């Protein structure tokens, strides 16, 4: 395992300790309950066209999304490289008999899983932790069946005129050694296409739930005014969010394995 990945594992555990994260089963259930009711996760569930079948929760963290998908009748396998009992697979291991899914400790950039197994490969807030973005997306695609659905949500983007270094200086987890990054949205799109994923679609955060995830009320109001402009309003807002919004803004990106 590379030094960067070791730093990510140790760094995020240290960040979780410093942030007083709770690794109890009760807290895990609270996280799944709040997740199930979030408009963003409801949106993600809605755009996944498969409603059952084999689902890989890729870089699953504490596996709270794995739990939700298992409750939705998917046959879920979680893959995560961090064994931490605060922010990784340690929570699954402690409460294995209460978890309705399988989980594997493994490197997401060199997956131990067989090729072409899963109907859905799902990744949440994890691609921006990759040491090699193209490699990680390629592994997602490799694990999917032909025609399978590959989706990543909550991925950090930054404006084309900004830099990854500037983003990293502001992210609180980086000081602990976490491998946080932000890319222009088209960098993710390029990685998806290079991995053989077709019909790739990118959705800026906000479009999925009437912009309620944008906390600044004046910005929300301005967006909704611009959207009323016939023909070009939606294009203006989409371009603004993709090209000019602040570093750390998120996207959802998805497509189908060719």
State pLDDT tens for residues 104-138: 999 999 999 999 999 999 999 999 999 999 999 99
The fraction of the chain above a pLDDT of 90, given in percent, is 78
d(CA 208, CA 2) in angstroms, rounded, equals 37
Q: Which of 17-21, 70-74, 233-237, 253-257 has the lowest mean pLDDT?
A: 233-237
In this prediction, residue 219 has a pLDDT band, given cuts at 50, 70 and 90, of confident
Global pTM? 0.92
Res 39: pLDDT: 83
Task: Give me the domain span that covers residue 11.
Answer: 3-209+248-257
With beta carbons less than 8 A apart as the criterion, state whether 82 and 16 touch. Answer: no
Report the CATH number at residue 121. 3.40.50.150
Specify if 72 maps to a domain.
yes
Per the structure block, which two tokens stand in for 209? 């739930």
Region 88-95: what's the mean pLDDT? Answer: 97
Specify if 146 maps to a domain.
yes
Strands 144-157 and 249-257: antiparallel
Specify if 184 maps to a domain.
yes
What are the tens digits of pLDDT across the range 15-26?
999 999 999 999
Range list of H helices, the chain: 3-18, 25-37, 39-47, 64-71, 90-94, 133-143, 164-170, 185-194, 217-227, 233-243
Specify if 228 maps to a domain.
no
Choose between 244 and 61: higher pLDDT. 61
In this prediction, residue 153 has a pLDDT band, given cuts at 50, 70 and 90, of very high
H or E element that contains 102:
strand 102-105
The total number of structural domains in the chain stands at 1
Specify if 7 maps to a domain.
yes
Say which DSSP state 96 is in: G
Max CA separation in the chain (angstroms):
55
Whether the per-residue pLDDT at 40 is higher than 90: the answer is no
Specify if 239 maps to a domain.
no
């Amino acid at each position: 395992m590379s030094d960067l990945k070791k730093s990510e594992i140790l760094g995020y555990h240290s960040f979780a300790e410093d942030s007083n994260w709770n690794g109890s089963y009760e807290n895990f259930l609270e996280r799944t309950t709040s997740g199930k009711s979030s408009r963003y996760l409801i949106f993600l569930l809605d755009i996944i066209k498969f409603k059952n079948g084999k689902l890989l929760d890729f870089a699953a963290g504490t596996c709270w999304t794995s739990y939700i998908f298992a409750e939705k009748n998917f046959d879920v396998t979680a893959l995560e490289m961090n064994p931490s009992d605060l922010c990784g697979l340690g929570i699954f291991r402690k409460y294995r008999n209460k978890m309705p899914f399988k989980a594997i400790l493994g490197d997401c950039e060199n997956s131990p899983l067989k090729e072409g197994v899963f109907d859905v490969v799902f990744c949440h807030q994890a691609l921006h932790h990759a040491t090699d973005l193209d490699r990680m997306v390629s592994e997602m695609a490799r694990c999917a069946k032909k025609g399978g659905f590959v989706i990543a949500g909550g991925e950090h983007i930054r404006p084309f005129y900004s830099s990854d270094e500037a983003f990293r200086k502001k992210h609180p987890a980086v000081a602990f050694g976490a491998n946080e990054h932000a890319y222009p949205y088209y960098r993710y799109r390029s990685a998806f296409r290079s991995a053989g994923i077709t019909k790739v679609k990118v959705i800026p955060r906000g479009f999925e739930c009437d912009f309620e995830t944008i906390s600044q009320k004046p910005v929300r109001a301005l967006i909704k005014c611009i959207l009323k402009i016939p023909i070009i309003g939606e294009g203006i807002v989409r371009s603004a969010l993709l090209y000019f919004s602040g570093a750390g803004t998120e996207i959802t990106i998805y497509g189908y394995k060719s």
